[in-house]
Amino acid sequence: MRRNSAIFVRLFRWPAPILALILTSCVIARADSIEKIHDALSVSDPQNRFNLQFSGLVDLEGYFIDQPTAALIFSERNFLFNPRLTLFVDAQIGTKIYVFAQTRVDRGFDPSDDGAQIRLDEYFVRYSPAKTVNVQIGQFATVVGNWVSRHDSWQNPFINAPLPYENLTGLWDTGAPDDADDVLEWGHVGEYDNGDYSDKYARIPIIWGPSYASGIAVSGSVGRFDYAAEMKNAALASRPDSWSITQTGFEYPTFNSRVGFRPNEMWNVGFSTSAGPYLVSEAAPSLPVGRNIGDYREFVLAQDLAFAWHHVQLWAEFFETRFQVPRIGNADVFSYYFEAKYKITPQLFGALRWNQQIFGTIRDEDERTKWGNDIWRIDAALGYRFTDYLQGKVQYSFSHQGSSPEAGHLVGVQLTVKF
Amino acid sequence: MSGRAVRCASSILILALGLAAGSARAQVVIEGTVTLPKPSFDRGLNQRYSTTSDVAMAPTNPPAAVVYLEGDFRPKPTDVPKSPAQVAQKNIAFAPDLLPVLVGTAVEFPNMDDTYHNVFSYSKTKRFDLGRYRKDEKSTTVVFDKPGAVTIHCEIHERMRGTILVLETPHFQKTDTAGRYRLEHLPAGNYVLKAWVAGDDIRQRPVELKTGMTLHVDFPAR
C-alpha cells in the first residue's frame, strides 16, 4: 500500500503542478483580463513624447525526446518540462530613440535539466537620425537571415528553431583538435561514435539560435532595399555564455551584414555574410604555437527568402559555412530549410519544415572524410490561438542522421500566454 | 381633366400633406451627450527586429460611442444596407476604428496603405481571418450575422485595434467626437437606451417614448 502511494506521488509530482500551471494560464489568459493588464503596463505622457510598454510571454513547454537528445536540448530524461517567463520593455523617446530589453526566467537559454535562472538576454538603444539610418548598440539578435523576426514563441510556428540554428557540429569552441580524429570523435561520426554524449555542450552549431551577441549595428531601408551591418563580440556559432560584453571583449570582433530586397509586399529576399573567430579564449593554450584565436574564423554566406500571400507564408534559408580549424584546415558545411505555414481556420494553423545539413570533408591521414553526420529532419506543427493572448502548439519532429539506423523522434507541446 | 377629377386630386394632395405634417409632429427624438474617455495617442513603438524606423506618433481616431435603442426590434431584410460598409486600413490604423452595423450587414476591409495588412478577429461574435492582402487587392467581405462587439486586429501591426458593434436594432447612431448624438424616427413605447463606449463600458437607461416627444438623455462617465 505504502509502495503504491509512493509510486502515485512520484507519478503525479510533475504532472500535477504542470496541470495547475496550465489551468492558471488559461484562466488568466482571458482576453479581457489580459487586455487590461496590457493597458496597465503601458505608460505614455500626454504629449506622446515618451511611451513605455512592459509586456511578456509565459511559455509552458514539454518535450518528449529520444536519447541522446537532439540539437540544443540538454536533458538526460525522456520528458523535459521547460517553463519560461519572458519580460519585454519597449520604450520610445520621441521618434528617434528606441530602447528595448528582454529578460528571461527559465531552465537555461536552451531547454535543459538545470534549475531556474534569470538572464538579461537582450538590451539595446537604437538611434534613428533619419528614416534611412538606424544605429543600434547593446546586446541583440543578429541581422543575418530572416528567422530572428519570428523567433519568439508567439510568432514561431514551431517550438524549436530551424536546423542550422541548433544542430551541433563536431567542433568545440573551447579547444582545438590535435588531429582529424578528434574532430570525427567530437562529431560522433561513424566508427568514432563512442556513445558518450557528455561532450554535447562543448560543441557548436552554425548559428546559435538568434545569436544575441553584443555590439553595434547600422541598418535602414532605402526604397525597396534593406541593409544592415553589425560588429559583434562573438561569432554566429558562439554559445550564449560568450555573448555578454562582460565575458567577451572586442579583441576579435565578428562582422555580419545583410542586404534585403522587397520586389513587392509578397516577396523578401536577402543575402547575408558573416566572418569572425569562433574559438573562445579558453582554447588559446591548445592552439599551434604562434597562433591566436583570431586566426580561426567562421565564414558564412547565407541567402534567405520569404513569401506571404493570403493565408500562406513561406520561408527558406541557405547557409554555406566554413570553419577554419587548427591543424585541420577548412571544414565546410551546408545547411538549409524550407518552412511553410498555413492558416486552416482563423484560429488553427499548420506548419511544415524540411531541414537538411550536409557536411564537407576534411583530410584524415591520406584520405578525405566527412567531418560530421549528414542529417535531415522534418518538423510538423499544429497551432491554435484560443484568444488574442493564448496560443497552444504541438510539434512532431523526425530526424535521420548519418548512417545510423536509429531515427530521432521529438514531440513538443507549448502553451503560450502573451501579455 | 374634368372639374370633379381636379377636386378629387386636390383632396388627395391635401390629405397627403396633412398626414406628412402629422407624421413630422409625431416623430420621437432622443438626443444628448455621452461623456467620452480622453483621447488616447498611438503608442507607436519601433519594431524590435526591423530595419525601418517609421514610428506613427499621431493621435488615433478620436474617441466615440454608439448610442442605440434596445427593444423587440426585428430587423427586416430591407433594413440591411445593400452595399457593404467599410473599415479601411489607412496610415496603419483602422478607419473608422468603431463601426456600428445592423445584424446581417456585410463589411469590407480595403487596404489603403502601401504595406500588407492582415485583419482578423477571435471574438466569439464573429471569428475571421482575411489573410495578407495588398493595397490593390479586393478584400473579402465579411457578413456580421450575430449581435455583439467584434474586436478586430491586424496580425502584422499589433497596435491596430478596432471594433465593429453588431446591433439587432435599426435605431443607432455613432456619436460625434464631442459625444453628441441624435436618434430620430423612433417608435413610441418602452425601451432601454444604451451607450456603448468601450469594452465593458456600456451605459444604459430605460426610456418611455411618446409620440411627438423629444427626450434629452445624457450618459455621464461611470
- Whether pLDDT at A141 is above 60: yes
Q: Could you tell me the sign of the dihedral formed by the alpha carbons of B67, B69, B70, B75, in that order? A: negative
- Whether pLDDT at A353 is above 90: yes
Provide DSSP, A151-173.
Answer: -STTT-SSSS--GGGT---S-BS
Mutate to test the interface with A, among B53, B152, B157, B161 (most CBs of A within 10 A): B53
Cβ–Cβ gap A128/B53 under 8 Å: yes
pLDDT attached to residue A104: 97
Using the structure block, give the residue that is written with the C-alpha cell 561520426.
A189
Quote the minimal CA–CA distance from A16 to chain B in Å. Answer: 30
Cis peptide before A157 (omega within 30 of 0): no
| Nearest Cα residue in chain B from A124 | B48
Most distant CA atoms of chain A, gap in Å: 74
With contacts defined as CB-CB under 8 Å, which chain A residues touch B89? Answer: none
Cβ–Cβ gap B52/A42 under 8 Å: no
Per-residue confidence band for A289, with pLDDT thresholds at 50, 70 and 90 = very high
Quote the minimal CA–CA distance from A365 to chain B in Å. Answer: 46
| Nearest Cα residue in chain B from A390 | B122
With contacts defined as CB-CB under 8 Å, which chain A residues touch B43? Answer: 42, 44, 48, 51, 53, 92
Distance CA A183, CA A188 (A): 9
Residue B91 or residue A121, greater confidence: A121
pLDDT attached to residue A23: 65
- Whether pLDDT at B1 is above 50: no
- Whether pLDDT at A9 is above 80: no
In degrees, rounded to 5, the angle at the alpha carbon of residue A258 between the alpha carbons of residues A254 and A260 is 175
Residues 6 or more apart in contact with residue B2 via CB below 8 angstroms: none
Smallest Cβ distance to B44: which of A31, A51, A260? A51
pLDDT attached to residue A360: 97
Cell of A18: 504542470
> Is A132 strand, coil or helix?
coil
Give the bridge partners for B29, in sequence order.
B214
Distance CA A408, CA A349 (A): 25
The residue-averaged pLDDT of A246-259 equals 96
Distance CA A22, CA A394 (A): 15
| Nearest Cα residue in chain A from B156 | A155
- The DSSP element (H or E) to which B17 belongs, if any, is helix B3-26
The residue-averaged pLDDT of B191-200 equals 92
Residues 6 or more apart in contact with residue A403 via CB below 8 angstroms: A190, A373
> Taking an 8 Å Cβ-Cβ cutoff, which residues of chain B contact chain A?
41-46, 48-55, 57, 59, 115-116, 120-122, 127-129, 131-134, 151, 153, 199-200
Residue B13 or residue B154, greater confidence: B154
- Whether pLDDT at A1 is above 70: no
- Whether pLDDT at A221 is above 80: yes
Smallest Cβ distance to B55: which of A35, A92, A265? A92
**B36-75 per-residue burial string, b: 16 or more CB within 10 A, e: under 16:** beeebbbbbbbbbbebbbebbeeebbebbbbbbbbbebee
pLDDT attached to residue A313: 98
Distance CA A29, CA A35 (A): 9
Percentage of chain B exceeding pLDDT 70: 82
> Is A263 strand, coil or helix?
coil
pLDDT attached to residue A180: 95
With contacts defined as CB-CB under 8 Å, which chain A residues touch B52? Answer: 131, 220-221, 226
- Whether pLDDT at B177 is above 50: yes
Give the bridge partners for A217, in sequence order.
A136, A230
With contacts defined as CB-CB under 8 Å, which chain A residues touch B120? Answer: 346
- Whether pLDDT at B24 is above 50: no
Quote the minimal CA–CA distance from B49 to chain A in Å. Answer: 6
Cell of B199: 469594452
The residue-averaged pLDDT of A108-118 equals 89
What is the spatial order of strands in the sheet that B180-186 belongs to? B180-186, B28-33, B214-216
Sequence length of chain A is: 419
| Nearest Cα residue in chain B from A222 | B52
Residue A407 or residue A323, greater confidence: A323
ipTM above 0.85, yes or no: no
Which of A156-160, A342-346, B38-42, B216-220 has the lowest average pLDDT? B38-42
- Whether pLDDT at A197 is above 90: no
- Nearest alpha-carbon partner for B151 in A176, A32, A29, A398: A32
pLDDT attached to residue B10: 53
Which of A354-358, A399-403, B153-157 has the lowest average pLDDT? A399-403
> Taking the domains of chain A in order of start, what are their residue ranges?
2-418
- Whether pLDDT at B138 is above 90: no
The residue-averaged pLDDT of A374-394 equals 96
Quote the minimal CA–CA distance from A350 to chain B in Å. Answer: 14
Cβ–Cβ gap A126/B127 under 8 Å: no
Cβ–Cβ gap B51/A227 under 8 Å: yes
Do residues A102 and A86 touch, judged by C-beta distance below 8 A?
A: yes
The DSSP 8-state label assigned to residue A66 in this structure reads P
pLDDT attached to residue B176: 96
| Nearest Cα residue in chain A from B198 | A32
With contacts defined as CB-CB under 8 Å, which chain B residues touch A219? Answer: 51
Q: Could you tell me the sign of the dihedral formed by the alpha carbons of B172, B178, B179, B182, in that order? A: negative
Tell me the one-letter amino acid at B14. Answer: I
Mutate to test the interface with B, among A86, A310, A311 (most CBs of B within 10 A): A310
The residue-averaged pLDDT of A13-41 equals 66
The residue-averaged pLDDT of B180-204 equals 94
Do residues A93 and A70 touch, judged by C-beta distance below 8 A?
A: no
Smallest Cβ distance to B43: which of A44, A128, A309? A44
Cβ–Cβ gap A98/B45 under 8 Å: yes
With contacts defined as CB-CB under 8 Å, which chain A residues touch B134? Answer: 264-266
Mean pLDDT, chain A, whole residue set:
90
Do residues B151 and B161 touch, judged by C-beta distance below 8 A?
A: yes
Per-residue confidence band for A12, with pLDDT thresholds at 50, 70 and 90 = very low
Quote the minimal CA–CA distance from B202 to chain A in Å. Answer: 15
- Whether pLDDT at A10 is above 50: no
| Nearest Cα residue in chain A from B128 | A346
- The DSSP element (H or E) to which A413 belongs, if any, is strand A407-418
Residues 6 or more apart in contact with residue B14 via CB below 8 angstroms: none
Tell which A residues from 132 to 151 touch B, by Cβ distance under 8 Å.
Answer: 134, 141, 148-149
The residue-averaged pLDDT of A183-196 equals 88
- Domains in chain B: ranges and CATH: 1-73+178-222 (2.60.40.1120), 77-168 (2.60.40.420)
Do residues B13 and B20 touch, judged by C-beta distance below 8 A?
A: no
- Whether pLDDT at A4 is above 90: no
Sequence length of chain B is: 222
Q: Checking DSSP bridges between strand B66-70 and strand B98-102, what pairing results, if any?
A: unpaired
For the stretch A54-101, pLDDT in tens is 999 999 999 998 877 778 888 888 899 999 999 999 999 988 999 999
Mutate to test the interface with A, among B38, B40, B42, B46 (most CBs of A within 10 A): B46
Q: Please state the separation of Cα A86 from the chain's center in Å.
A: 15
- Whether pLDDT at A242 is above 70: yes
Distance CA A108, CA A120 (A): 12
With contacts defined as CB-CB under 8 Å, which chain A residues touch B51? Answer: 134, 219-221, 226-228, 260
| Nearest Cα residue in chain A from B153 | A388
The residue-averaged pLDDT of A270-275 equals 98
pLDDT attached to residue B25: 41
The residue-averaged pLDDT of A246-266 equals 96
Q: Please state the separation of Cα B14 from the chain's center in Å.
A: 38
CATH homologous superfamily of A2-418 equals Porin (2.40.160.10)
For the stretch B69-102, pLDDT in tens is 999 988 888 888 999 999 999 988 999 999 999 9
- Whether pLDDT at A178 is above 80: yes
The residue-averaged pLDDT of A174-201 equals 89
Tell which A residues from 153 to 182 touch B, by Cβ distance under 8 Å.
Answer: none
Residue A54 or residue B41, greater confidence: A54
Residues 6 or more apart in contact with residue B141 via CB below 8 angstroms: B84, B106, B107, B108
Distance CA A383, CA A392 (A): 6
With contacts defined as CB-CB under 8 Å, which chain A residues touch B200? Answer: 32
pLDDT attached to residue B14: 47
The DSSP 8-state label assigned to residue A315 in this structure reads E
Q: In A295-406, where do the E strands start and end?
A: 297-309, 312-325, 329-343, 348-359, 361-364, 367-370, 375-387, 390-401
pLDDT attached to residue B16: 47
Residue B135 or residue A27, greater confidence: B135
The values of phi and psi at residue A221, to 5°, are -130, 135
A297 touches chain B (CB under 8 A): no
> Is B167 strand, coil or helix?
strand
